[in-house]
């Protein structure tokens, strides 16, 4: 497993491969290449999907294709619901067309090289950095009717809650409901650096975060929410980077 120090802007990933030596090879690369950290490895796609459903999304999924039971191609649509980037890692070039149809974000050939893997990580981080340069501070939420959209200022959003295939967006004065997945909303808001996901069903605004006590966050509207286990590491890293004295300590 990854032994690198945790950084707030590191990509969080999982690996899926039915060959133990392939898992070990990729684990070693992840431990060596900066900017990415490993959450967990799996020998089949079903176990990975179950884990993600229980513990929440990751930034990247590295998956083999030719696996017994549920192949990487067959699992693509399900896996993409739990990540921003699905990358195939395979020894076969014959699946390239299938990968294009599945709209995956990368296709790495075995045996993996440090250079190819590092380039893939750099490309993902560069894409995320590009989105972070956006300076608009609003989103549009689709309404109940066709061509009906509601503009919402990001700074007014207090928290967002998942509700089946819908999300509820709560501002200081209104509540909006739109047909979407929470992961899609999270990706759309990621450029603002104003929001952080604290559980499978809740995203909070850092502007409206009043206090953190243990594993509970308190918002300035009086509400509080528990922080899910998979999300505590990222919140802790954010707090460590932003608490009073952290800048002085870095300089020291």
Please give, one letter per residue, the 3-state secondary structure of the chain: CCCCCCCCCCEEEEEECCCHHHHHHHHHHHHHCCCEEEEEEECCHHHHHHHHHHHCCEEEEEECCCCCCCCCCCCHHHHHCCEEEEEEEECCHHHHHHHHHCCCCEEEECCCCHHHHHHHHHHHHHHHHHHHCCCCCEEEEECCCCCCEEEEEHHHEEEEEEECCEEEEEECCCEEEEECCHHHHHHHHHHHCCEEECCCCEEEEHHHEEEEECCEEEECCCCEEECCHHHHHHHHHHHHHHCCCHHHHHHC
Q: How confident is the model at residue 237 (pLDDT cuts 50, 70, 90)?
A: confident
Residues 176 and 110 in one domain: no
Query: pLDDT, tens digit, for every residue of 125-140?
Result: 777 654 444 556 787 8
Q: In total, how many domains does the chain have?
A: 2
- Asked if pLDDT for residue 99 goes beyond 80, the answer is no
The residue ranking higher by pLDDT, 116 or 143, is 116
CATH number at residue 92: 3.40.50.2300
Domain end point (choices 96, 117, 132): 132
Query: pLDDT, tens digit, for every residue of 68-88?
Result: 889 888 898 899 888 889 999
Query: pLDDT, tens digit, for every residue of 24-83?
Result: 999 999 999 888 899 999 999 999 999 998 888 888 999 999 888 898 888 988 998 888
Q: How confident is the model at residue 205 (pLDDT cuts 50, 70, 90)?
A: very high
Domain end point (choices 132, 166, 184): 132
Query: pLDDT, tens digit, for every residue of 151-200?
Result: 888 899 999 999 888 899 999 888 988 888 888 888 778 767 789 999 99
Residues 109 and 173 in one domain: no
Residues 98 and 189 in one domain: no
Residues 59 and 170 in one domain: no
Structural domain of 184: 138-251
Domain membership of residue 3 (yes or no) is no
**Residues β-bridged to residue 42:** 16
């Amino acid at each position: 497993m990854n032994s690198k120090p945790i950084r707030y802007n590191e990509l969080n990933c999982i690996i899926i491969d039915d060959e133990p030596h392939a898992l070990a090879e990729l684990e070693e690369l992840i431990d060596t290449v900066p900017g990415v950290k490993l959450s967990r490895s799996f020998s089949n796609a079903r176990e990975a999907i179950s884990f993600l459903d229980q513990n929440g999304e990751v930034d990247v999924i590295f998956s083999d294709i030719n696996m017994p039971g549920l192949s990487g191609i067959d699992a693509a649509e399900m896996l993409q619901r739990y990540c921003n980037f699905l990358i195939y890692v395979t020894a076969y070039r014959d699946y390239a067309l299938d990968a294009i149809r599945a709209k995956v974000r990368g296709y790495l050939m075995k045996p993996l090289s440090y250079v190819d893997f590092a380039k893939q990580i750099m490309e993902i981080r560069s894409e995320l950095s590009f989105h972070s340069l956006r300076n608009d501070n609003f989103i549009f939420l689709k309404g109940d009717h066709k061509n009906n959209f509601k503009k919402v200022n990001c700074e007014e959003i207090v928290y967002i809650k998942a509700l089946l295939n819908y999300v509820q967006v709560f501002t200081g004065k209104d509540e909006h409901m739109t047909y979407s997945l929470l992961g899609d909303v999270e990706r759309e808001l990621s450029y603002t650096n104003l929001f952080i996901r604290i559980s499978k069903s809740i995203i909070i605004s850092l502007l409206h975060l009043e206090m953190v006590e243990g594993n509970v966050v308190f918002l300035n509207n009086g509400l509080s929410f528990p922080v899910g286990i998979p999300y505590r590491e990222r919140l802790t890293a954010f707090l460590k980077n932003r608490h009073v004295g952290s800048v002085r300590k870095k300089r020291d």
